Chains A and B, each alone.
Chain A
Amino acid sequence: MTTAAPADPRERLPDAIPRLRAFAISLARDVTQADDLVQDTILKAWSNMDKFDPASNLDAWLFTILRNTFYSSLRKTRREVQDSDGFFAATLSERPAHDARLALKDFQRAFDQLSPEHREVLVLIGASGFSCEEAAGMMGVAVGTVKSRASRARRRLTELLHLDEGEDLFSGTDGATRAVVLRPSSAAR
């Protein structure tokens, strides 16, 4: 799988940063704090690269460093959570208004209200494509814990979105609007 990758994992860092940063934003919900997390992670990864097994998944290793950094700073500072209209909602408010965008914004607002642990497990499994086994390794918990936490997180998100009441928030999303939503720079004029 990694045969085409450069021999030195340091060379693969630039390619991993966008995903690492997306994960950081989902945890921190604040882009400045997220960028600080990414910076700390790069520094730690760089100086500990000899401990990385090149045959293993670089993203998983980097994500693990980042989430450990995040949780230890959370413990240290006991910082109050940021306002729940976090980064995602803020960036999206610039986009042209249509139904799909509003639905996505609602989703992001609900997502931001989840606990860090719930956001983490959903992003790892639901968005980044890690298996429950990989996520368990990264989170330092049992696979069963990952599964039950993910299911609780989904249930909580469902409540926050009032999806259990029969609404269909995302029915207005088709391929074209999604392309607009996903390509802010090319859509912006």
Chain B
Amino acid sequence: MSGEQDDNATRRQAIHAQIDENLKRVYDLAAAEELPDRFKDLLAQLKARDGAAKGDKEKGGEGS
């Protein structure tokens, strides 16, 4: 009886480990995807806007 329970606990742990391993694989796979250019462009725009805002400080309010 208790041997069976041990088996179940071991099995649950194994399943748990398999799930986590696959979660990591799925996540790493998505994180390894090549990024669309829109994010690089967006960051460049934001940086440029900040740079311009620093240039003439009191003129803010143009940003969306």
Taking Cβ atoms with an 8 Å cutoff, the residues of A that contact B are: 10, 13-14, 17-19, 21-23, 25-26, 35, 38-39, 42-43, 46, 87-88, 91-92, 103-104, 107-108, 111, 122-123, 126-128, 154, 157-158, 163-164, 168-170, 178, 181-185
Contacts and interface: CB of A to CB of B under 8 A. Distances in A.
Interface residues of B, number: 28
Given A88-B26, A154-B16, A46 B39 contact: no
A26 B27 CA distance: 8
Interface of B: 15-16, 18-36, 38-40, 42-43, 46-47
Looking at B24, B28, B29, B34, the one whose CB has the most chain A CB atoms below 10 A away is: B29
Nearest to A128: B27
Contacts of A10: 46-47
A108 B18 contact: no
B37 to A, nearest CB: 11
A146 to B, nearest CB: 15
Contact of B29 (A163, A168, A181): A181
B14 to A, nearest CB: 8
Given A18-B33, A182-B25, A184-B29, A126 B43 contact: no
Looking at A22, A43, A88, A164, the one whose CB has the most chain B CB atoms below 10 A away is: A22
Contacts of B23: 111, 122-123, 126-127
B30 A46 contact: no
B22 A104 contact: yes
Contacts of A13: 43
Contacts of A154: 15-16, 19
A128 B31 CA distance: 10
A186 B22 CA distance: 21
A127 B46 contact: no
